[in-house]
C-alpha cells in the first residue's frame, strides 16, 4: 500500500479517523471515523479506501506537471471568466493525460482487488475529499467531483484521475484565490467505496435536529426512491419524517410526523450498454409515488443510527444514508 516503506499512498477507511483530515480530507476522514468507532454500535458504513494527500502530491511532483500548473495559475487573471475557464480546462487535461506513477496504480489495484473480492458486478462510488495543509477547517464541500456506479478496475482508475483533476475545476480555483489559500498547499484524496443498491430501494439525508426550528429532541429524515443524489441536490420532493428522541430511547414508536413527498423522479444505474453514462434519471411509477419510501421500522432504525452518530461527534450532524435493495 505504500512506496518503499515511506508514507502510505492508500489507506483503508478502518485505518482512518478525524485526526487524519490532513492525509485524506474531511469526507474520507469522517467515513473512517464512523467505520472505526461506530460499526460496533449498529451504524453501518460500506467499507472503502482512500488515496492520500502524499499520493496526490507525488503524482504531481514526479510527473513535473505541478510546475506547469502553478506557472499557468500564477499568470491567470482569475476574475476574467474566459481566462479562468481556459486555464482550468488546460490544467484538468494535463492531469488526465498524465499517467499515474506505477506505485500508486499498484496500490489502487491491490486495494481494489481486496474491496471487490472478485465480484465482477461490484459497483463503487469514487468521491473527492480535498485537504488543505494547516487548514483543517477549510470548507471545500461540493467543489469537486463524485462518480457513482463505477464498475471495473480500469473505470475506477479513470474516475480517480478525474477526481484528481477536479481540484482544478473553475469554481475550486476561484474559491481558493478569493479565500487566500495557496494552490500548492491543497491536495486531493480520492475515496473508493462499495455502493449499496439504493437504486433498487430508497435513500436520502437525515439530520439529528429539526433543521428549521433548531429543536434538538427530534431526528428529521428525508427519503426518496433511487440514489441519494436527487435528494442531496434538492431535485426531488422527498418523504419527510420526524422522530422523537426520548420516545425512541424508551424503545416505543417514536414517529411524530410524516409527510409524503411527490417523489416524481429517481436516479438509477444506467444499463451497461449506455456507454459513458453510469447513472440516469427516470420517472417513478405512480404506485411508488403514492406510498412512503421507508417503513416505520426503517425510519426508527435510521433515527437510532443518527442519535449514535450525533452522540459520538458531540454536535448536530447531517448524514447521507442509503438502503440496499
234-270 pLDDT per residue, tens: 999 999 999 999 999 999 999 999 999 999 999 999 8
Residues 217 and 314 in one domain: yes
Q: What phi and psi, each to the nearest 5 degrees, are found at residue 320? A: -80, 140
Q: What is the mean pLDDT of residues 281-294?
A: 98
Could you give the CA distance from residue 306 to residue 220 in angstroms, rounded to a whole number?
A: 9
Give me Rg for the CA atoms of the chain. Answer: 21
Contact (Cβ atoms closer than 8 angstroms) between residue 224 and residue 261 = yes
Alpha carbon of residue 32 to chain centroid: 12
pTM assigned to the model: 0.87
pLDDT tens digits for range 119-136? 888 999 999 998 876 555
Q: Comparing 46-50, 70-74, 119-123, 226-230, which segment has the lowest mean pLDDT?
A: 119-123
Let me know if residue 2 belongs to a domain. Answer: no
State which of 128, 162, 194 marks the end of a domain.
194
**What's the confidence (pLDDT) of residue 95?**
96
State which of 194, 225, 260 marks the end of a domain.
194
Q: How many structural domains comprise the chain?
A: 2
- The yes-or-no verdict on residue 151 having pLDDT over 60 is yes
pLDDT tens digits for range 96-110? 999 999 999 999 999
Residue range of the domain that includes 185? 10-194
**What's the confidence (pLDDT) of residue 33?**
94
- The yes-or-no verdict on residue 143 having pLDDT over 90 is no
Residues 228 and 176 in one domain: no
**What's the confidence (pLDDT) of residue 2?**
47
Check which CATH number belongs to the domain holding 33 and give it: 3.30.1490.20
Percent of the chain with pLDDT over 70: 93
Q: Read off the C-alpha cell for 6.
A: 515511506
Let me know if residue 4 belongs to a domain. Answer: no
**What's the confidence (pLDDT) of residue 13?**
97
Let me know if residue 80 belongs to a domain. Answer: yes
Let me know if residue 33 belongs to a domain. Answer: yes
Check which CATH number belongs to the domain holding 219 and give it: 3.30.470.20
Residues 166 and 239 in one domain: no
Let me know if residue 5 belongs to a domain. Answer: no
Residues 183 and 263 in one domain: no
Let me know if residue 249 belongs to a domain. Answer: yes
Q: What is the mean pLDDT of residues 70-84?
A: 90
User: Partners of 242 in the beta sheet?
Assistant: 220, 257
**What's the confidence (pLDDT) of residue 144?**
72
Residues 169 and 218 in one domain: no
Amino acid at each position: 500500500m505504500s512506496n518503499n516503506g515511506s508514507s502510505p499512498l492508500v489507506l483503508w477507511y478502518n485505518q482512518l479517523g478525524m485526526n487524519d483530515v490532513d492525509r485524506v480530507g474531511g469526507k474520507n476522514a469522517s467515513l473512517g471515523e464512523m467505520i472505526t468507532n461506530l460499526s460496533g454500535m449498529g451504524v453501518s458504513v460500506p467499507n472503502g479506501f482512500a488515496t492520500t494527500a502524499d499520493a496526490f502530491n507525488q503524482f504531481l511532483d514526479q510527473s513535473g506537471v505541478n510546475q506547469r500548473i502553478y506557472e499557468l495559475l500564477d499568470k491567470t487573471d482569475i476574475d476574467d471568466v474566459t481566462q479562468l475557464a481556459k486555464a482550468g480546462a488546460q490544467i484538468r487535461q494535463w492531469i488526465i493525460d498524465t499517467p499515474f506513477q506505477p506505485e500508486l496504480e499498484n496500490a489502487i489495484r491491490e486495494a481494489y482487488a481486496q474491496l471487490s473480492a472478485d465480484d465482477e458486478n461490484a459497483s463503487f462510488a469514487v468521491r473527492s475529499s480535498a485537504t488543505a495543509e494547516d487548514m483543517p477547517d477549510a470548507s471545500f464541500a461540493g467543489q469537486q467531483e463524485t462518480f457513482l456506479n463505477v464498475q471495473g478496475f480500469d473505470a475506477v482508475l479513470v474516475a480517480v484521475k478525474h477526481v484528481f483533476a477536479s481540484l482544478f475545476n473553475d469554481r475550486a480555483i476561484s474559491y481558493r484565490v478569493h479565500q487566500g489559500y495557496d494552490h500548492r498547499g491543497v491536495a486531493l484524496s480520492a475515496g473508493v467505496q462499495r455502493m449499496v443498491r439504493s437504486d433498487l430501494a430508497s435513500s436520502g439525508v437525515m439530520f439529528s435536529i429539526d433543521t428549521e426550528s433548531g429543536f434538538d429532541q427530534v431526528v428529521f429524515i428525508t427519503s426518496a426512491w433511487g440514489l441519494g443524489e436527487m435528494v442531496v441536490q434538492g431535485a426531488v420532493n422527498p418523504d419527510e419524517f420526524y422522530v422523537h428522541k426520548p420516545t425512541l430511547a424508551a424503545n416505543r414508536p417514536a414517529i411524530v410526523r410524516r409527510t409524503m413527498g411527490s417523489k416524481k423522479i429517481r436516479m438509477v444505474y444506467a444499463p451497461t450498454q449506455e456507454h459513458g453514462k453510469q447513472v440516469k434519471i427516470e420517472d417513478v411509477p405512480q404506485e411508488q409515488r403514492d406510498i412512503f419510501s421507508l417503513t416505520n421500522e426503517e425510519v426508527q432504525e435510521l433515527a437510532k443510527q443518527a442519535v449514535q452518530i450525533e452522540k459520538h461527534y458531540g454536535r448536530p450532524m447531517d448524514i447521507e444514508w442509503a438502503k440496499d435493495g
